[in-house]
Amino acid sequence: MSLLLSTSIDSLTEMALSPTDPNSFSRPDLAVVTHIHLNVKVNFTRKMFEGSVILDVEKKGDTNVLILDVRGLVILSITNIFDGSRLDYCIEKGVDYGSKLSVELPDDPIIDDGKISYKIKIDYRTSQDSTAIQWLNPEQTAGGKHPYLFSQCEAIHARSMLPCQDTPFVKSTYTAEITAPAELNVLMSAIKEKIIDVDKALKIHRFHQPVPIPSYLIAIAAGALVSKQIGPRTRVWTEKELLDKGAYEFEETEKMLKTAEDICGPYVWGVYDLLILPPSFPFGGMENPCLTFVTPTLLAGDRSLANVVAHEISHSWTGNLVTNMNFEHFWLNEGFTVFVERKILGRMYDDKVRHFAALMGVQSLKTALITLGDKNPLTNLVTNLIGIDPDDAFSVVPYEKGHIFLFYLEQLLGGPDVFEPFLRSYLEEFKYKSLSTTQWKEYLFKYFSDKVEVLDKVDWNAWFNEPGLPPVIPKYDTTLAQEYLDLAAKWLADKPISEFSKSDIENWTSNQKEAFLAELVLNNKSLSLDQVKSMSELYRFDSRQNSEIRFNWLRLCLKSRWEEKVSEALDFATSQGRLKFVRPLFQDIYAWEEMRQRAIDVYNEKKYKMMYVTREMVAKDLHILDKNKN
């Protein structure tokens, strides 16, 4: 039996989790990956990545084993790069969301300047149903001629794309060589170095990411992608069909970047490109470094949804430079990012816009708490994810409770003039690192050591560890919200239809319309079917292109039991894959008993067109237990 199995069988069979991350088996405290070189061929016929990773590993503690996370990968061989000798390894089936790969480290490490390091090569391939990668046939793309693939690794899907220490506690640089069909372009969350022709059919695309990043930020896309420069450091990438629309929608990107730099400090990633994905992309945006991924549902035609870009830009500091150490502290990524996002909007337009967005945030938190239940421990700001897949814990809570918390602290400590310097100092202190909520709190107390009496007024335990609404919700400026709040109240008061007219909302922004509808969706009371039909005639919500308006309008129609709208809602929920829209619509139809079966039938018909996470989450929402797990 191998050295690995004979010496450490006990510790391996315990399947101990990482002491720093309940969702990873890795032990970066013992041996840590410092650089990844990914060398794979994307095989569209087999829907697989085939190739290898070379890992630079540094020994940190008393061990002769490197532990990695894997999910559905086929490991072919593991070797010591220096002499080609084989290394023993074993894989133990772990939890639903991953297994443990233990690799015996070579006994002749490189010792340099007190550092003990190794370089190992793992030959592997992904499985067809890698949860991180979606493979699209040509007919699922805008152009219809070429296949397409994209990845989504956050929170813990990187392990289904490559063997890695799949925890945000670990940050490493990466390089990559991707071999792909010559007619496709390949992009990654990195700087592109060059493209090398292999033969008529294949090209190699080379990348490097010189800034250490967590595994969840490794990203790739390949397809018939073209680009247009929209700023000094920004190109929009997409299939050519959407290029002009995309370039228009995101024209303000450089202005947002400059504003973000003004708030947070210099942008360290060089390039800030945007990639508009096919409709099945499951999120609004994903902050992949150098290359933010966005859903095409942002293309409203009026730039009204560009706040998502401000959000992803903000992650360049909060999340990508300063990172949550595991997903229990996800609010450090997302709460801070929403906070910076809204500061950008406040600076670019007016502080009233920041307050308006904050109010919409409270509205969406309240709406989410209705579904999640306000006693649900997953609605704590800091969650316990032992045995819980972060996908199952995902909600707006860390975003919006996190934002409320930071806004509250900012007011309490003396306003932006006092709090923004703290924000910059925090970013400076923790850049290139990962941290926990406790570390953040300690730093806050250290920074504001002259304001400890003020900080002692905060009910830390309630903020961090209690479910439901937070202990305090600050008073926001309602200037931009008042009109929609008044109009919503008037509809809810059952006023005769003659008191309403299309001019009620004529001069409103898309965001005000969206918030008006969201307010009606949130309210305990439902409008009657007649009221909603009259509203439809007056305000013409059916013909709006804006995806947020469409989403909230459909929810309102379902709430008032407008049967003809069920097909439209199901169409919308399956013609794009954004979880934010897809899940509530399926949940609403599921809750309407007479319509439930239609939702299940449509899901079963369309599920193989969905990306893994959408397919899986909706199955749970529809209580379909036979899961497509791998």
The residues carrying an active-site annotation are 312, 399
Q: Shortest Cβ distance from residue 95 to ligand BES (Å)?
A: 18
**Residue with smaller CB distance to Zn ion, 55 or 290:** 290
**Residue with smaller CB distance to ligand BES, 79 or 323:** 323
C-alpha–C-alpha distance, residues 313 and 316, integer Å: 5
From the list 308-316, 347-355, 450-458, 621-629, the region that binds ligand BES by CB under 6 A is: 308-316
**Residue with smaller CB distance to ligand BES, 106 or 346:** 346
Helical packing angle, 397-413 and 351-372, nearest 10°: 130
**Residue with smaller CB distance to ligand BES, 396 or 527:** 396
Decide which of Zn ion, ligand BES, none touches 284; Cβ closer than 5 to 8 Å per partner kind.
ligand BES
* Number of residues located near ligand BES, criterion CB under 6 A: 16
Report the candidate in 347, 165, 224, 207 with the shortest Cα–Cα distance to residue 291.
207
The residue of the chain with the least Cβ separation from ligand BES equals 284
Q: Residues 232, 254: contact at Cβ < 8 Å?
A: yes
Site string for ligand BES, 565-604 (x = CB under 6 A): ---------------x------------------------
**Residue with smaller CB distance to ligand BES, 399 or 463:** 399
Q: Shortest Cβ distance from residue 166 to ligand BES (Å)?
A: 13
Q: Residues 291, 219: contact at Cβ < 8 Å?
A: yes
Residue 9, both tokens: 């069988």
In this structure, how many other beta carbons lie within 10 angstroms of the beta carbon of residue 198?
12
* Number of residues located near Zn ion, criterion CB under 5 A: 2
Report the candidate in 87, 81, 91 with the shortest Cα–Cα distance to residue 105.
87
- Is residue 284 within the footprint of ligand BES (CB under 6 A)? yes
- Is residue 68 within the footprint of ligand BES (CB under 6 A)? no
Hey, which residues between 420 and 479 contact Zn ion (CB under 5 A)?
Answer: none
Q: How far is CA 234 from CA 257, 337, 338, 366, 584, in A?
A: 10, 20, 22, 36, 34
Question: How would you classify residue 290: left for phi > 0, otherwise alpha for psi between -120 and 50, otherwise beta?
Answer: left
Decide which of Zn ion, ligand BES, none touches 467; Cβ closer than 5 to 8 Å per partner kind.
none
In this structure, how many other beta carbons lie within 10 angstroms of the beta carbon of residue 490?
13
**Residue with smaller CB distance to Zn ion, 98 or 285:** 285
**Residue with smaller CB distance to ligand BES, 311 or 343:** 311
Decide which of Zn ion, ligand BES, none touches 285; Cβ closer than 5 to 8 Å per partner kind.
ligand BES
Non-local (6+) Cβ contacts of 50 within 8 A are: 40, 41, 43, 125, 126
Rounded (5°) CA angle 414-417-422: 85
- Is residue 285 within the footprint of ligand BES (CB under 6 A)? yes
Hey, which residues between 318 and 347 contact Zn ion (CB under 5 A)?
Answer: 334, 337
From the list 173-181, 205-213, 304-312, 369-377, the region that binds ligand BES by CB under 6 A is: 304-312
Helical packing angle, 253-264 and 330-348, nearest 10°: 110
Q: Shortest Cβ distance from residue 319 to ligand BES (Å)?
A: 7
- Is residue 293 within the footprint of ligand BES (CB under 6 A)? no
Non-local (6+) Cβ contacts of 171 within 8 A are: 212, 213, 214, 323, 432, 433, 434
Q: Shortest Cβ distance from residue 105 to ligand BES (Å)?
A: 32
From the list 40-48, 218-226, 282-290, 430-438, the region that binds ligand BES by CB under 6 A is: 282-290
Q: Shortest Cβ distance from residue 115 to ligand BES (Å)?
A: 33
Binder of ligand BES out of 44, 49, 250, 283 (CB under 6 A): 283
**Residue with smaller CB distance to Zn ion, 314 or 552:** 314
Residue 482, both tokens: 């008042």
C-alpha–C-alpha distance, residues 164 and 425, integer Å: 31
In this structure, how many other beta carbons lie within 10 angstroms of the beta carbon of residue 279?
16
Radius of gyration of the chain (CA): 25
Non-local (6+) Cβ contacts of 456 within 8 A are: none
**Residue with smaller CB distance to ligand BES, 104 or 334:** 334
- Is residue 334 within the footprint of ligand BES (CB under 6 A)? yes
Q: What is the DSSP string of 144-156?
A: SSS-EEEE--TTT
Any alpha helices (H) in 466-563, and if so which ranges?
A: 482-492, 510-522, 529-539, 547-559
Hey, which residues between 122 and 161 contact ligand BES (CB under 6 A)?
Answer: 154-155
Binder of ligand BES out of 21, 166, 239, 287 (CB under 6 A): 287
Q: Shortest Cβ distance from residue 32 to ligand BES (Å)?
A: 23
C-alpha–C-alpha distance, residues 498 and 489, integer Å: 16
C-alpha–C-alpha distance, residues 1 and 414, integer Å: 65
- Is residue 308 within the footprint of ligand BES (CB under 6 A)? yes
Decide which of ligand BES, Zn ion, none touches 551; Cβ closer than 5 to 8 Å per partner kind.
none
The residues that touch ligand BES, with contacts defined as CB under 6 A, are: 154-155, 283-287, 307-308, 311-312, 315, 334, 394, 399, 580
Q: Which residues in this chain contact Zn ion in the complex, by CB under 5 A?
A: 334, 337
